[in-house]
Each structure stands twice: as structure tokens, then as C-alpha cells.
Structure 1
Amino acid sequence: MAGVSQREVRKAADRRQKRVLEEQRARIKLVSKILQKPDQLRTKDDLTVLAACVDTVQELQKRKQKTEARKRKLEEVIDEPEELRRKINLLAAAIQDAQYPVIYSGAGISTAASIPDYRGPNGVWTLLQSGRDVSTADLSEAEPTLTHMCITQLYKEKLVCIYCSPNREYIRLFDVTERTSLHRHNTGRKCHKCGSELRDTIVHFGEKGILEQPLNWKAAAEAAKKADVIICLGSSLKVLKKYACLWCMSRVPHKRPKLYIVNLQWTPKDDVATLKIHAKCDDVMQLLLEELHLDIPHYDRSKDPIFSLTTQLRPGEEDSHSRKLLSKDRPGGVGSAISGEQPVSIFSNGINADKAVSLSSSGGALKGLTYILKKLEKLQKKIKLLTIFCTRKYSIYNAIFMSFVYLYCIFGLLEEFSKPPLVNRDFSNDWLLF
């Protein structure tokens, strides 16, 4: 139209679009209200509206079906005792006949230790989506469940392979995910060897199947490639399903590993599973070990290898977390906690101690002397490199630079002589000098 600006045309089009959307929302609301009525209570006007809005009726019915299907997937189903026993027999036979069975475990194997899962009725994500508060459990007081101990026994008997850990990992006595979140895996600490950032070893909720770090997917894929039986315990598989390498999807279907799933709820792999067991993990594993004629080991907290495998925090890292540390003694028992915050003596010869060490023997004095000599050797290499750099690039300032170097060495020796004798020296912080 002549005399009408483009801006007015756009505004008119926006108004028309808004009216269409408002009419559509009003129509959906009206049809939804009618569909909620029982058939015998619908009036002629209601039937006329439904006949005139066939597309809206079909769309609302599809939405209802999707909602009901989603609710059914969240429901927990439990097999009858006889059916459960039959399935356990099949699972036991599969493990005995397998050449390389592998276990994938999820949060569901820890619910018996009062640690919530993610998508169960009382799971973390379920509660958050419904606006309810998440109960906070003291993870430092949790102990391995019966399922954990059964998996340990199966591993000792070489009946299963538990899929792999990263090439270089640091086991801690506290929760390392305090500062990590979606797409943020750095924990704020650094590797003691290479100095690179340490990352957690979990897939956070919402992350896709393209994640390669921090998990060691390459080694896990190698284990999956060898597997002829995969057992999934207590996992919704909504994250693991995205990693095709874990399921050998490159093979034709009949050559893929047989899949056995133990979970109370629906999983996206149910349709391709050889067997789906609807039961709690502890119940299944107890019956499984009975069928395999294996004893379930008793958990002894004082002998837990995590306390010997853990990597202690270095000086300066004590404030990198605020979580409670695991205790080697039972919760409430008498004894001191195994502290990851103890100062660690780091010597140049590779000696690591749980706390500061006083060297009081001739062997200790020799170690201390070796320590100083190696530190001086490292300093000498640095001085040599800097000297070459200054000679080539800034020869005018070479004399001034070397003067500062000599002064630094003299002050270093004076400081060394001012310290206590080597045999009584505490070397807990000396490594920070250079």
C-alpha cells in the first residue's frame, strides 16, 4: 500500500500473528477442558467444538499418550520371586559361559548406602524437577553395599571385568566434584608430575556422548570390544547409551555382546537386551552369588585399599576443598581420620611420606644431603640457561646479571647454614625454596 512504511507493515503482521496464537491457545484450552469430561457429560455444543477442531484433538491426544508413556517409564517394576529366580539362573549361566563379561554400574548400586540415585522416584534430578528439596547424606560415612562386595568377589574370581580407570588418576578421601559442574571438570588442583589440571571422572547430567575427557573412553571401548556379555547394574543408561563404542554398535546386531540389564525402571536399551531383570541390585547380586556358589566378602573398613591408594594433598592444597574426609575407623568409632590434608614431604629422590619426616639417622642425613645437592644442580642448570640467553641477546647486561646470580647463591648458602643441622631438619616445606 502506498504511503505505508515497512515498520507499520511489520507491526501489523506481528499483531496478526499474536491474535492467531491467542486464538490457538484459547482453542486448545477449550478442547482440553471438554476432553477431560466423561463422554456422557459432554453437551451438543461440546461435540460440535470437537468436530470442528479435529487437529487440536489429535494433538492433545498425542501429548497425553507421551505424558503417560513418560510416567510409565518412571515407574518401578519388581519381578515376582519365581520369575526373579528364573532370570538369575539365566544370568548365572551367561556369566559362566562368557569369555569376557564386563560390568557397567550406575548410581543404583549405591542407594542401599543411603546415597540417592539420579532418576529414581527419590533421585536427585527427579526431586529437583518437581521442586522438592534433595536430602543431603554424609558420603564420608557411607560404606560399600552388598552389590559392591559381590562385584569385588566376581572380579577376584576373574568372572567379570570392571571397565577401566584413567591412565593417571588421583584417589582422594573426599568428594572431588565440589567445584565441578556441567562442562566444567577441573577440580582446581594440579597433577604432581606434569602440572596439568586435574579433572573429575564423571559425566555430568546433560553432557552428550562426544565427551572424551576426563573419562578413559578409549580403554573402556577396548574392554567393550572384547566383551561377549555386558551386565548393566543400577543404571538408567540415558548417558551411556550415547557412547556407541561401549555397545559395539559398529558390529551387526547378532555379533554384538549379549546385554543383561538390572534396573527397576525402563532404560533405552530394554528393547535390545537379552534379559531385563526388574529388581534391586542387592537382591539380584545376592541370589547370583548363591547360584554361582560364591561367598559374599565382608567389608572391613580398616582394610579398605582406598586408604593406601589415595594421593595426599600437597602443601598449599589444603583449602582446595571443604568436604569431610573419609575415616579409616568406622563412623562414631575411636581413632583419627586419615587426612588428605597432612603435609607431604616431597624429596628430590622421589620419597613420599604421609606427614613431615625428621631425619635422625646417618641414612637420613645422606638423603638430606642428596636433596640439597640435587636442588643446587637444578639451580645450576637454570643459571646456565639464563646466562646463555643473556650472553646472546643482552651481552651489555651480562655482567650485571651474573652479579645478581652470585649474590643469590651467596644468600642461599647463608640461609642454608642458618638452618638446623640436617639430622634434625624437617623437610616438609624445603622443596618450595627453588
Structure 2
Amino acid sequence: MTPVDQLRELIRSARRAVVFTGAGISTESGIPDFRSPGGIWTRFKPIDYQDFVSSVEARRETWRRKIETDKSMTVAEPNRGHLAVAALVRRGVVSHVITQNIDGLHQRSGIPAEQVIELHGNATYAKCLECGQRHEIGPIKAAFASDETLPICDACESDLVKTATISFGQAMPEAEMRRAEAATLECDLFIAVGSSLVVYPAAGFPVVAKRNGAKLAIVNREATDLDDMADLVVNAEIGPTLGGAVGLN
């Protein structure tokens, strides 16, 4: 039985599965992994949350990098891996998708937003850190590209407007962490996809699932530190693997 067949059988036997995704599922859509060679974190030191809050220049540099990363993110489309996960959600096999990704491709693949738990936030829109007002990215980027004008919140006039992502030094979102833990504890199959499983606390969820009695499948191009505890490890391209297991043409 091939690894794809084994994954298919695990999915068929599951009553309530959870899919956990990392950057690897989106690299097949052309979005570079921040940590991989050529990724933004190999070229620039990450900007700490407190620096963003306290420094106008740090805020400007954050938006400069946002414009750079959006060159790949805004043209990316959901790939076969995203579509396979969406098919499992539609079939009622997968209750939730817990993701470390900030690209919004799971929602664009057709998964209802309420079933996507974004641990690291979302880069497709911005929020005011003072009042929580949502801001669309397009007008911010257009104004900034002209003369590096920082966005000002039209609700409270604060200039602490940043993409709705979790920065280094910023607290993890409590509500999303609680939802992710609840979904993990309720599942009987946990499928980790495209994650190196080294960024905690997010990477702790596969361990929680396994210790709670769920089956654990890991689909990633490279080995991970959690492979030894998994029921199935597939080191292969994600789109063909998930697509084959789900039966997508």
C-alpha cells in the first residue's frame, strides 16, 4: 500500500479530523516560506512588535516589507493541496483547519471562515492596534507607495495600524488558541501538512492530539521532529499527496 493509499484509509476511517497547515502548503502556490533560502527572514531581521509600536521608522520598514511580500502573495491562487483540504471540509470529514499561514488561501479555496483558525493572523487586511478597526490593504499600500505615508485609523486617528498578523514579540491570539485546542481535543485524526513543526506553541497541537488518542499523519517534504510519534509520515509534494488521497483529479 502506497503512502497516499495509507493516508486515504486514515481519512476514510476518521469521524472528525483536523488539518493543521504550515508554509509548505502555500509554497506550491508560489508564496515563499519566510524561513527558506531567499525568504524575507533570511534577508532581513524580523521586526519585533514592540519596535513597531515605539518606532515610526520600524512601522515604515514593516510596510516596505509588506509591499515586497505582497508581490507573490496577492497573485497566489489556492493549489491542489488547498483544494483537497477544502473538499474534506465540504464532505464533513474535517471540522476545522488550524493554520500557521497568513495568506488567506484556505478561505479562498472555499472553506468557510469560521472553520479556519488562524494562529498567526491574516496578512490580507490590517487592523488598528488601538481600537481594532479593520482596514483594507489596497488604499494603505497605494498611499504608502506614493510617499511612505503611514496609515492613520479613521476611527481613532491612531497611526498604529498594521497587518492583522502576529509579529515577533506579540502575544498569540487567545481566542484562536482556545478554539484550536478544543478542535484538537475533539478530533480522532490530526493531519499536519507542510509544517516543520518547530514553531511553538502552535506545533504543540499534534502532540496534544496524539496523546489524546487521535491518529497523527504528517505530510511534509522534509522530516520533522515529531515523525517518530506519527502513525503515518509522507515526505512528498503536498498537492499531489493530498489530492491523490482525497480523489481530486
TM bucket by the smaller chain? 0.5 to 0.7
The total of aligned residue pairs comes to 185
In the other structure, the counterpart of 2:215 is 258
Structure 1: which amino acid aligns with 2:231?
Answer: T
Structure with the bigger percentage of strand: 2
Q: Match for 2:182 among 219, 222, 228? A: 222
Note if 1:289 corresponds to 2:246: yes
After TM superposition, the structure 1 = structure 2 runs for residues 137-216 of structure 1, keeping only pairs within 5 Å, are 137-160=71-94, 161-163=96-98, 164-165=116-117, 172=125, 174=137, 200-204=163-167, 211-213=171-173, 216=176
SS at match of 1:212: coil
Q: Please, which runs of 5 or more residues in structure 2 have no aligned partner?
A: 46-64, 99-115, 126-135, 142-149
Contact kept in structure 2, 1:259 and 1:273, CA below 8 Å: yes
Q: Please, which runs of 5 or more residues in structure 1 have no aligned partner?
A: 1-84, 179-186, 297-434
Identity of aligned residues (%): 25
Q: Distance in 2 between matches of 1:191 and 1:90?
A: 53
Residue 188 (structure 1) shift: 6.4
Q: TM-score, normalised by structure 2?
A: 0.59
Residue 103 (structure 1) shift: 0.5
In the other structure, the counterpart of 1:105 is 21
SS at match of 2:19: strand
Residue 119 (structure 1) shift: 3.4
Structure with bigger gyration radius: 1
Deviations 1:82-129 (A, max 9, x none): xxx611111111111112110111111111222101334554445669
Structure 2: which amino acid aligns with 1:262?
Answer: V
The two structures, once aligned, show a CA RMSD in angstroms of 3.9
Q: Distance in 1 between matches of 2:138 and 2:224?
A: 28
Structure 2: which amino acid aligns with 1:216?
Answer: E
In the other structure, the counterpart of 2:205 is 246
Structure with the bigger percentage of helix: 1
Structure 1: which amino acid aligns with 2:183?
Answer: A
Q: Distance in 1 between matches of 2:194 and 2:202?
A: 18
In the other structure, the counterpart of 1:86 is 2
In the other structure, the counterpart of 1:420 is none
Residue 109 to residue 220, structure 1, CA distance change in 2 (3 Å): same
Q: Distance in 2 between matches of 1:103 and 1:177?
A: 33
Q: Distance in 1 between matches of 2:183 and 2:138?
A: 27
Residue 233 (structure 1) shift: 1.1
Q: Distance in 1 between matches of 2:233 and 2:140?
A: 32
Q: Distance in 2 between matches of 1:189 and 1:152?
A: 36
Residue 139 to residue 243, structure 1, CA distance change in 2 (3 Å): closer
Q: Distance in 1 between matches of 2:228 and 2:182?
A: 25
Q: Distance in 2 between matches of 1:191 and 1:214?
A: 26
Contact kept in structure 2, 1:247 and 1:257, CA below 8 Å: no
Deviations 1:202-246 (A, max 9, x none): 444x559xx43276111111111101111111111111x434762
After TM superposition, the structure 1 = structure 2 runs for residues 58-97 of structure 1, keeping only pairs within 5 Å, are 86-97=2-13
Residue 165 (structure 1) shift: 3.6
Structure 2: which amino acid aligns with 1:226?
Answer: E
Q: Distance in 2 between matches of 1:153 and 1:189?
A: 40
After TM superposition, the structure 1 = structure 2 runs for residues 260-275 of structure 1, keeping only pairs within 5 Å, are 260-275=217-232
Residue 199 to residue 259, structure 1, CA distance change in 2 (3 Å): farther
SS at match of 2:34: coil
In the other structure, the counterpart of 1:321 is none
Structure 1: which amino acid aligns with 2:242?
Answer: M
